[in-house]
Chains A and B, each alone.
Chain A
Amino acid sequence: MSQVADHAHTEHPPHLHHHFHSSAQQAASAKLGMWVFIAQEILFFSGLFMAYIALRYLYPKTFLAAHEHLDVSMGALNTVFLITSSLTMALAVRAAQTSNKKWAEINLLLTIGFALAFCVVKYFEYSHKFHLGIFPGKYYAYTHIPGNPEVFFGLYFVMTGMHALHVVVGIGLLLWIYLKTRTGAFSAAYYSPVENVGLYWHLVDLIWIFLFPLLYLVK
Chain B
Amino acid sequence: MTTATDAIRPGGGPSATGHAEEKDYLNVDNSIMSWLFTLDHKRIGLMYLASVLFFFFFGGVLALLIRTELFTPGADFLTYFVSGKNAAELKLAAADLYNQLFTLHGAIMIFLFLIPSIPATFGNFFLPLMLGAKDVAFPRLNLFSFYIYVLGALFFLYTLASGGLDTGWTFYTPYSTSTNTAVIASTFGAFILGFSSILTGVNFVVTVHKMRAPRMTWTRIPLFLWALYSTSLIQILATPVLAITLLLLIFERALGIGIFDPAMGGDPVLYQHFFWFYSHPAVYIMILPAFGVISETISVHSRKHIFGYGFIAASSVSIALIGFLVWGHHMFVSGQSPLASLLFSMITFAVAVPTAIKVFSWVATLYKGSIVFNAPMLNALSFIFLFTIGGLTGLFLATLATDVHLHDTYFVVAHFHYVMVGGTLVAFLAAIHHWWAKMFGRHYNELCGRISAIFVFIGFNLTFFSQFVMGSQGMPRRYFTYDQVSPELLSIYTRMHQISTVGSMILGLALTFTLFYLTHSLFFGKKVHNDSDLRWTGESMEWKAATPPSPHNFHEQPIAYNGPYDFKEIDHSLGGGH
Cβ contacts under 8 Å, B211 to chain A = 19-20, 25, 29
**In the complex, which of the residues A19, A29, A59, A157 contacts B206, with contact meaning CB atoms closer than 8 Å?**
A29
Q: Which residue of A lies closest to B241 (CB)?
A: A47
A170 lies within 8 A of chain B by Cβ: no
B134 near A151 (CB under 8 angstroms)? Answer: no
Complex contact B133–A148 (CB within 8 A): no
Q: Which of A81-89, A92-100, A132-140, A198-206 contacts B (4 or more CB under 8 A)?
A: A132-140
A151–B206 CB distance below 8 A: no
B236 at the interface (CB under 8 A from A): yes
For residue B259, give the distance in angstroms from its CB to the closest CB of chain A.
6
- Shortest beta-carbon distance from A137 to chain B in Å: 4
Inter-chain contact A137/B256, CB cutoff 8 Å:
yes
Other-chain contact of A46, B241, B259, B552, B557 (Cβ < 8 Å) = B241
Shortest Cβ gap from A5 to chain B (Å): 4
Closest residue of chain A to B207 (Cβ to Cβ) is A29
Known interface pairs A25-B210, A33-B137; A40-B264 also in contact (CB < 8 Å): no
- Give chain A residues whose Cβ lies under 8 Å from the Cβ of B265: 55, 59, 148, 150-151
Question: How far apart are the CA atoms of A166 and B114 in the complex, in Å?
Answer: 31
Residue among A1, A5, A151, A158 making CB contact with B251, cutoff 8 Å: A158
A76 lies within 8 A of chain B by Cβ: no
A137-B258 contact, Cβ under 8 Å, with A33-B138, A33-B206, A36-B205: yes
**B296 to chain A: closest CB distance in Å?**
24
Contact with B along A37-79 (1 / 0, CB 8 A): 1011101111110110011001100000000000000000000
Proximity string of chain B (117-146) to chain A, C-beta cutoff 8 Å, 1 when within and 0 when not: 000000000000000011101110000000
Selected from A25, A137, A139, the residue in CB contact (under 8 A) with B264 is A137
CA distance A201 to B202 in the complex (A): 19
Q: A51 to B252: give the CA distance in the assembly, Å.
A: 13
Closest A residue by C-beta to B203: A33
Considering the complex, give the chain A residue whose CB is closest to the CB of B254.
A137
- Cβ of A36 and Cβ of B236 under 8 Å apart? yes
Q: Would B258 and A37 count as touching, CB distance under 8 A?
A: no
Q: Does B101 contact A (CB under 8 A)?
A: no
Q: CB within 8 A of A45: which of B206, B207, B244, B267?
A: B244
Contact B238 A43 (CB under 8 A): yes
Bound form: Cα–Cα A89–B26 in Å = 45
Interface on chain B toward A: helix, strand, loop, or mixed SS? helix
Q: Mark A1-33, 1 if CB is under 8 A from B, else 0.
A: 110110010000000011111000100110011
Query: Chain A contact residues (Cβ within 8 angstroms of B): what range?
Result: 35 or more
A19 engages B139 (CB within 8 Å): yes
- Per-residue interface assignment for chain B, residues 250 to 291, with 1 indicating a CB less than 8 Å from any chain A CB and 0 otherwise: 011001111100001111001001100000000000000000
Whether A40 and B274, one on each chain, are in contact in the complex, defined by CB atoms closer than 8 angstroms, is no
Contacts of A150 in B (CB 8 A): 257-258, 264-265
Q: How far is the CB of A52 from chain B (nearest CB, A)?
A: 10
Known: A137-B255, A154-B255. A54 touches B236 (CB 8 A): no
A residues near B255, Cβ cutoff 8 Å: 136-139, 154
- Residue contact B133 to A19, C-beta cutoff 8 Å: yes
Asked if B264 and A4 make an inter-chain contact with CB atoms under 8 angstroms apart, the answer reads: no
A36 touches B206 (CB 8 A): yes
- Is there an interface contact between B559 and A1, defined as CB atoms closer than 8 Å? yes
Given the known interface contacts A47-B244, A55-B259, A158-B248, the answer about A32 and B209 at a Cβ–Cβ threshold of 8 Å is yes
Taking a contact as CB atoms closer than 8 A, the residue among B198, B245, B251, B252 that contacts A47 in the complex is B245
Q: Give Cα distance in the complex from A148 to B133, angstroms.
A: 57
A137 cross-chain contacts in B, Cβ below 8 A: 251-252, 255-258, 264
Interchain CA distance A157-B252 in the complex, whole Å: 12
Tell me, in angstroms, the Cα distance from A43 to B206 when the chains sit together: 19
Assuming the contacts A4-B557, A4-B559, A33-B206, asked whether A39 and B256 have C-beta atoms less than 8 A apart, the reply is no
By a CB distance below 8 angstroms, the chain A residues around B214 are: 4
Q: Assess whether B571 is interfacial by the CB under 8 Å rule.
A: no
B476 at the interface (CB under 8 A from A): no
**Is A177 at the interface (CB under 8 A from chain B)?**
no
Q: A4-B214, A25-B210, A151-B265 are in contact. List 6 more A-B contacts (CB 8 A).
A: A1-B559, A32-B209, A40-B202, A47-B244, A139-B255, A151-B266
7 contacts between A and B (CB under 8 A): A4-B557, A5-B557, A33-B138, A47-B243, A48-B248, A148-B265, A158-B257
Binding site for B on A (CB under 8 A): 1-2, 4-5, 8, 17-21, 25, 28-29, 32-33, 36-37, 39-41, 43-48, 50-51, 54-55, 58-59, 136-139, 148, 150-151, 154-155, 157-158, 162
